[in-house]
Structure formats: C-alpha cells, structure tokens
Amino acid sequence: MADLWSPQVALPDKVEQLLQKICKDQKQAPPRADVRQKLASLGEEAALGILREISASSIRKSLGGFILYMINKASSQRLAPVSPLCTPSSPSRPMFSPPQGNLRGSPSSSLSSNCAVSPKLAAWGELEFRKAFLILSYIGENQLEDINISADEIRSLKNLGMIDFEERVWEALGHKYIDKEDRRMGPYLHKTKTHLQRVLGDENVLAVKFAEKVAGRRIFSCDYYSMYHKIAREGIRVGSRRYFFFVFKDGGKEEKKKNPTSSPVKCYFIRMESNATIDQSEYILSRKTVYEARSVFMHAHGLSSVTSFMARFALILSKTIKLEVDLASVNIEVIEDVLCRDTDGNIVYDKDDKPRIHTDGTGFISEDLALLCPHNFYKGEQIRDENIERSSNLDELAGKLLAMMKQPESQTREPPLLIQFRLFNNGCAIKGTVLVNKKLPPRTIQVRPSMVKVWTDPKLSNIRTENSFEIVGTSNKPKRTFLSRYLIALLSYGGVPKEYFIDIVINALRDAHSVFSDKRAALKVSVCHGDMDDFSAARMILSGIPLDESFLQHRLSILMKEEQKSLGGGKLPVPECYYLMGTADPTGILESDEVCVILDNGQISGKVLVYRNPGLHFGDIHVLKATYVKALESFIGNAKYAIFFPCKGPRSLADEIAGGDFDGDMYWVSRNPQLLEYYKGSEPWTPTSLMQNVPNHNVVNKKPSDFSAEELEEELFKLFLTTRFQPSYAKSVAADSWLALMDRLLILREYCIEEKDHAKANILQLIDIYYDALDAPKKGGQKIEVPNELKAELFPHYMEREKSFTSTSILGLIYDKVKSYQSEDPSMKEIWKLPCFDVEVPDACLIKWKEHYEQYRQEMTNALKNGHDEGKNEAAEEVIKKYKEILYGAAELEESKRGMEEIFSEALVIYHITYDFANSRRSASYCSFAWRVAGPALLKYHAMKKGEKSFLCIPSVLREIFN
C-alpha cells in the first residue's frame, strides 16, 4: 500500500487535500504513483478542476482509472498551441503586484474559447484590466470560484474610480485573504510608453520579476531553469487571459538605483489569448505564434547570436513617443557611412577587421519632419516646466525675471537640432540620431548602415509589421552640470589642483547651510532640486512664506541633505560646463583636433575639454579646439545645443573618448578657464582586447536562424534566466577596483615611481575589462571576468565599504569636508502656524475634512507600499489627485468653477487639521497634505492677505538664473 501511495510524487496542498477527501468520502484507494505524476503535471488549477468534477460524480470502478479518463478527455479537447513550444497550460495566478512583482505558481489548464466560462469569471472579464488584476491580487492563493463574491457584486464595482475600487475590494476580499502589508493602491499603468506597449496596449504587457526564492528556498544557478522552464512553455494565466514570455532587458546600474533591492533585469510577457469579454475584439496577435508575434516588431532572427537577438529586440522597450507621420509617405534612404582613413587615404580597420567609422550612429532628417518633434524631450518624456505663481518680494530676482520676460520671442520655431530615435520599418530596426538638414527634400530621413541593427527579411514579407518612428530624446538646453568622482579623479591626475575642488565644496556647503536664513540661498537650492518636490519649496519662498515656517523648514532640510549627499559623492557644480548630444560634422570642414559646439548664443570658439561618461582612461578627457563653421548654418539654421565631431583622421574622436559614438551619447564639454589652465591631456585610449576573456558556456554560439521556432524560444528564455540569476558583476567590480587603484595613484609621492607604474599598469588592464564588459551583451554575450589579482582588497573610506582605508586623495578630502558640516534637523521642532491663516472655519467643513484626512492617511500609506519608486510615485499622485478634485471640483485650482471664498475656507480647514496632527506627532513631515492638496489656494490666500500682486514664472528661467 505504501508503494501505491508513493508520497514522493508531491501534489499542491489543495490538490492533496481534495484527493484525500474523495478517497475518504467514496471509500477509494489512493491512486498509484503514475496517476499522481500525471495529475501533478497538469498544475494546481487543472488538477483541482478534474478532482472537483470527480468529487461531484459517483466513482464506479477505481479513482485512479477515473482520473486518467478525465485527463485524457481534457487533453483531447485542448486548442492548438498558441506558443510554438507546446500546448499552453498556465501557472496558477501569479502572486505579484502589477506592473512588477514576484512570480510564483504552478502550471494549470489551458484556455479554450469553446469551454464554458463561469459567471464569476465572465463578470471578472468585463472589468478594466488593472481592476481585474487587483481582484486576483487580493484573493491570495485562492481561486476566483472559491471566494465569497458573486458575479453581480463584481459587476457593481466596474464604474468606480481606482481608489474607491481598491477600498471596496480590500474590504470585501483583501483583508480576508492576504496580509495587510501586501495591500497596494494599484496597479498603476506606466505614464511613459514603449513601442511594445503602444502596439499591444498596456493591459496586454506584463512586466514580471522572478523571485530569488520559491517555496521558501533560495534558487541557485544549478536549478533556476528546472524551477521556471514550465513557465516558458506554458505562459502565465491571469484570470481568463494567458501571457507568454516575449522580451527582457537588463536595466543595469540605472535601474538598480531606482530599486536597489530588486534585480535590474526586467522581463516582459505578452497576452496571446483571452476569454475575457472585454478582449473579444480583434487583437493584433490573434491566431499568431510567439515567433510570428516577434516578427510583427522586427526580423531579429537574422542576427549573429541569441544574445544579439535579445539585445536588439529590446529596442522595443525604449521609453519613447511616436512621431505622428505615415512612414509609407516618408522617403527613408540608406546613405554611406564616412570611413576613417589614414594620411594616404586608405581605409583604417580595427583589430577585428571592421572599418573604423566617423559617422557611427548618426544620419539626417528633413526640416518638415523635425518640426513635428517636440522640444525638450528626454528618455521618452517631455521635460515640462509648469507655470508657477510667485510673489514679487525678491527685488533683484524680480528684476532679472522681468527683464528676461520682456525679451521678444522668435516668430519662427526652430526644430530640435538632433533627435535620438528608434525606427521600426518593414522588419528592420534602426537606432541612432538624426541631424536636422535643411538641404533635404521634404519628408526624408537618411540613415547609415551603422545605424541599422536589424535588416528586413524578404521571406517574411507576408507578415504585417508595426512601422513607427519613435523619439527617445532631443538635443536640449543643458541643465546645471556636475562633476563625478571618475571625472574628478581624471582631472586631478591631469593636473587640476586639490584647492580648486575644495573651494567649490566650501562654497556649495556654505550655500546649502544658509538655506534656513537666506532667501536667495534657499531659493537656489529649492530650484536646483525642484524635481524632488514639484517645486513646492520654491513656490512657498516666492509666494512670501517666511523661511522659518515649519513645513518649509522641513522641505529645505531635505533638500539641503540631498545637496550634502551629492557633494560628498563628488557631484560638484562647475560653471561653464555642459552636457551636449554628439554628432558628426556634415560639412567635412572640421580638422581631427577640432569640434563645433553650439550653445545658447550659437557657435563658440576657443579651447574646450571634452569627456564622456563613464570614461575611466587617462586620455578620455580630450583638449580640443572649438571652431566656428559657417557652412554648418546651411544645414541646421538656428537650431541649438550639440557638439559636432570631425570626419577626418584615422580614428573617430568620439571613439577615442571611452568608445563613444553618435546614437545619443552625451558629451561633457567644459570651457571653464581654470580647468583649461590646469589640465594637461594624456594619450587617448586604444582598445587592446577582443573579448576573449572567459568562454561563456551558458551562451550558445549558433545563430537564431539555426534554431527551430520552438528551440529559439527555449534559448531566449534560458538567456533571460542566465542574465537574471547569474548576473555579470564585471563592470561594477572593475569600476570599483579602478577607483581604489586610482585613489592610490593620486596619493603616491613622486619618488614612488615603481609602485606608481605598477598601479597604472593594473589600472589600464581594468579599463580594458570595463569597456569590454560594457559592450559584451551586444557582441555575442562573451562572459567577462576580473582576474583576482586585479580586484581591490581595500577601498577608500569614501566608498563606504567594510574593508577600507582612510584616503587623503582629493576624493577623500571632499568626503571629509562634507561630513564635517553637521546641522540640526528643524523638522523635529515644534510646529507653528502662520498668523494670517488663523481664521474661524465652519464646523461642517471641519468634520468633512477630518474624515477625508483620516481616509487620506490610510490611502497614502497603502500607496507607498508599491515595491518600486515609479509605482510609489504614481500611486501617491493618484491619491493626491483625488483630494484635489474634492477641494477644487477639478484637477487644479485654475480649472475650478467653485467660488474662491468656498475654496479658501476649505483650504484653511485642511491647513489647520494637518498642522494639528503634525504637532501631535512632533514632525513637520505630516504637514505635506496641506501643501500638496491645498497649496495653490493657500498661496493665493497668503498673497491676497499681504496685499501684493503675484506674477508668472517657469522653472527653466529660475534654473537659468542660478546656473
């Protein structure tokens, strides 16, 4: 009997419990091991479905025989595969908070348009997707059929706003089935869009993060594929929708900064089928395999490796906006790249026998198309400068502002000078920048072979592709520019004295610490860090709120600490430095040591320093000659903000600067006279490695076209799992070790020649490894490792590592200087109220907003539980938006149709309730609600009481003044 029971074949808990119940109720012997194995292979949901049907029937012979009969019956009724890998069956509902989260679950039954949909699931399928998803998130491990809610109750929630919907679902379901800590004020859709989202729709794209642990145990490199391979084959079922693996992207250091506790690797699943009522209209991927779905975007199967396939396919994940133009009416031409040549006119080749290119990544666009592009665009988002009202009590500032406002505006709009883009057209994928070219005929785009990352496959001409010109960014007016630790180290090595940097730090600290008493210093800091608080501190200062006001002191304290933190990390503000997008000289006039730099007032002349992050080589800072090129004006007109590199010489100047090119790279350009006086350049970096560091046995060297559709999907998913669970740390290890060695090099005395030479030799090796690691994903996935003898064992104290030494280099001195400045936190002082707000308020209004405020605190607590910064911000904004609409009857005060007296009355009530609560908690941070919701009304009321007029100003003007 023990052999027949075979407890080694594990079943999900609910399946096991129901199986034992059937054995007990119908007096049946437990099924054999082979039957249990087949039941286990179905997944929890499918197995439960079969056992529920058996439980409601009378077993005539054996339980095992009945189970096998039902399994065979279900198998014969399945649809043809949606994925090319196998007939899709899905894991149980994934436990993750959209749009990201931790995936866990086991495979279950497949979807079928022919099978009956239960009333509850039918009602669920009528909901907006994020509402439908939230219901599944709030029922925990349970199935929709097993919870106490009717179809009519589900439908009754359909028209509620998201915040009210969440509250109702939490009260009805969430608090019964999940922990309070797992409550979320979402899900919220990303505001920025990608080509993938734009083509398929937000609800059809799931960003999935795979957990480090499954079933309470940590996943190791030896078993991650065995844990997750079913998901690759069978997809993820969300209610009556099914999603399949499609694309992933390693966000690297930037993504890690946003969410330090989570993997930077983002994996996206797309909907391939659905039985939901809301999804019954024709879908772009209807009746397509995943392989065919990929070809809707590009023909990446023609690339040289699986790693290149995914690196290029991930172009559809760039945050962009779409240029509203019919590409069928646009003439897209391929023009030749300008090749590097020696003094005899011969083409110069790299060590891998590829010709060197001067125009790598940059082409042209006609003026009419460029004019359709927005200005001030960066990483898929327009940099908006919202209008803010200001009180004119700062005479000097007001004078400058008014003078600038009186300047006549240009009657003709200039197009962006450079546009960073992604172009998807008939299966090809192109990335890079295009320079506005007034000489081109209308509706023309010219690209170069170096920009084409995926070429069209004529064999797939029968598959319609989603063609689009996607804008990533434009050449924008430079913001306030800062140095970095890497740049400070290289400048110091090149001869810039320590005193220069220390003076910058002292002046910046003096400004930061005078924010509590000096309005100009306070305004400067609040404007420079305005993105942190939507310029709320700047609004208050310019509206005449005194600097010692409790909440303003709290905000200024936060901004001051941020300023200190930045300074300690080497983020030093330096005048006359700019970050500019780079491109190639279209005139051919610039010599090999010249550049053309265009700023506010046009082209500049004289010596400049040029550098590109993340350059580590001693020669990555170039001393070049900024040259005026009259002929350039016939191409670009009066368009501004870029640096043009020459198309002469045996090697691209951009490539000499940390391997740069022109597909959107930003270059640091300095005309600061002190830096130019002190800095002495070094020989430029020359690549010495061909990525033959360590063979990567996890990467298959076959081309994607060498695989069948089924094999390719498996290899792509394996590549994702390898990237996710076996990440390469070569870049960070090399960079950290470089900084530790570079620090040592900077403090060695002149007579330590042998040690300096040894340190420099190791630094040069680390630089090559670092640059190889940067390019590895695009060049076949070669695994790069840092040899143990090059890894630092001790780190400078400013890197804040466990094993450290006290550094006396310029970076150590900067860190110590910042640390020596300590200040009291004013946010812990007693909260006081502005006298002009001390007025009588109606009791009814007081009761109303006390209830709202209690509700707000709970909603905001839930909103801030979203696992990543973007989700937290969006959720918090939704909450604030709700209460603004309650106060103003509109999204903003300016749009309100309510009487101002009524708004003022309620705004003052909000102020008093919030400040009383903050005082009870002895923390000014609780005053936030008053200013985020009622701030515009409070500032207007304050200005009215002072009897002064206010005027309009935009943040970009303030930033320009304080730069």
Q: Are 597 and 626 in contact (CB under 8 A)?
A: yes
pLDDT band at 30 (very low <50, low <70, confident <90, very high): confident
What Rg value do the Cα atoms of the chain yield, rounded? 31
Q: List alpha helices for 794-868, DSSP H.
A: 810-819, 843-863
Alpha-carbon span 193 to 191, nearest angstrom: 6
Mapped onto helix, strand or coil, the DSSP state of residue 963 is coil
β-bridge partners, 242: 237, 273
- Size (the chain), residues: 963
Which pLDDT score, from 0 to 100, does residue 219 have? 57
- Per-residue pLDDT tens over the stretch 735-784: 999 999 999 999 986 668 888 999 999 999 999 999 998 888 777 667 78
Give the per-residue pLDDT at 179. Answer: 84
pLDDT band at 186 (very low <50, low <70, confident <90, very high): low
Between 227 and 370, name the one with better pLDDT: 370
pLDDT at 187 over 50: yes
- Give the confidence band of 351 by pLDDT, cuts at 50, 70, 90: confident
pLDDT of residue 65: 83
Percent of all residues in the chain with a pLDDT value above 70, rounded to a whole number = 84
Distance, in Å, from the CA atom of 411 to the CA atom of 733, rounded to the nearest integer, reads 53
Give mean pLDDT, residues 504-520. Answer: 88
Helix axes 810-819, 498-513, angle to 10 degrees: 20
HSE toward the beta carbon, residue 67, CA cutoff 13 A:
27
Q: How far apart are CA 224 and CA 222, in angstroms?
A: 6
Give the pLDDT confidence score for residue 424 in this predicted structure: 97
**What is the per-residue pLDDT for 409?**
40
Q: What is the mean pLDDT of the chain?
A: 84
**Would you state the pLDDT for residue 497?**
96
Q: pTM score > 0.85 for this model?
A: no
Alpha helices in 569-651 (DSSP H): 633-636
CB atoms within 10 A of CB 925: 14
Q: Which amino acid belongs to residue 121?
A: L
Q: Which of 51-60, 691-700, 945-954 has the lowest mean pLDDT?
A: 691-700
Predicted confidence (pLDDT) per residue in 123-173, tens digit: 888 898 888 889 988 988 888 888 888 999 999 998 888 878 888 999 899
Q: How confident is the model at residue 116 (pLDDT cuts 50, 70, 90)?
A: low
Q: 336 phi and psi, to 5 degrees?
A: -75, 145
Q: Are 251 and 242 in contact (CB under 8 A)?
A: no
Closest-CA residue to 782 (of 790, 771, 793, 792): 771
Q: Is 895 exposed, middle or buried (0-12, 13-18, 19+ CB in 10 A)?
A: exposed
What per-residue confidence (pLDDT) applies to 218?
Answer: 61
Q: Which residue has the higher pLDDT, 519 or 872?
A: 519
How is the chain split among helix, strand and coil, in percent rounded to 5? 45, 15, 40
Cα(562)–Cα(558) distance, rounded to whole angstroms? 6
**Residue 103's pLDDT is what?**
37
Q: What is the pLDDT of residue 214?
A: 57
Q: Mean pLDDT across the stretch 861-869?
A: 70
pLDDT score for 406: 42
Distance CA 750, CA 243 (A): 63
Question: Contact 659/612 with Cβ under 8 angstroms?
Answer: no
597-619 pLDDT, tens digit per residue, is 999 999 999 999 999 999 999 99
953 vs 939: CA distance, rounded Å: 15
Cα–Cα distance measured from residue 206 to residue 593, given in angstroms and rounded to the nearest whole number: 49
Distances (CA, A) of 96 to 124, 187, 579, 907: 18, 10, 39, 38
Residue entry with tokens 């509706």? 443
Tokens 């000289």, residue located: 585
Give the DSSP per-residue string, 868-924: SHHHHHHHHHHHHHHHHHHHHSSSSGGG--S-HHHHHHHHHHHHHHHHHHHHHHT-G
pLDDT higher than 50, residue 102:
no
Contact 378, 473 (CB under 8 A): yes
